[in-house]
Amino acid sequence: MTVRQIIKLLNYGTEWRLIGARTGKILCSSRNKKQTREKYLDLLVTDEPIKADFYVSKNMSFTDYITPMISIWVSGK
C-alpha cells in the first residue's frame, strides 16, 4: 500500500503524521502545506502502517492540549 491509499481510508479531518520506519523521524503531517504532503503520497508503507498516537502541543504554556492522531509508518525512510 501507499501513503495515498492509507490517507484515503481516513475520515475527513483526521489528524495524521508520517513517520519514517528506519529513522523514526516525523516526515510530514496533515498540518503541513499541500506541496509538502504531496512529496510523500506515493511512498510505500510498512506491513502494519497505522498506529494510534497523540499530538501534544508544546509551544505555549497556557494552551497545552492533547489531540488524538494517527501515525502512518513509511518504509525506507
19-69: pLDDT as tens digits: 999 999 999 999 899 998 999 999 999 999 999 999 887 776 667 788 899
Q: What's the CA dihedral at 9, 41, 36, 14 to 10 degrees?
A: 10
Sign of the torsion formed by the C-alpha atoms of 16, 75, 38 and 57: positive
* Domain chopping of the chain, boundaries: 3-74
Query: Whole-angstrom Cα distance, residue 17 to residue 73?
Result: 9
Query: Whole-angstrom Cα distance, residue 17 to residue 61?
Result: 23
Type of residue numbered 7: I
pLDDT computed for residue 60 by the predictor: 67
Query: Whole-angstrom Cα distance, residue 53 to residue 26?
Result: 13
Between 76 and 60, the more confident residue is 76
Global confidence as pTM: 0.82
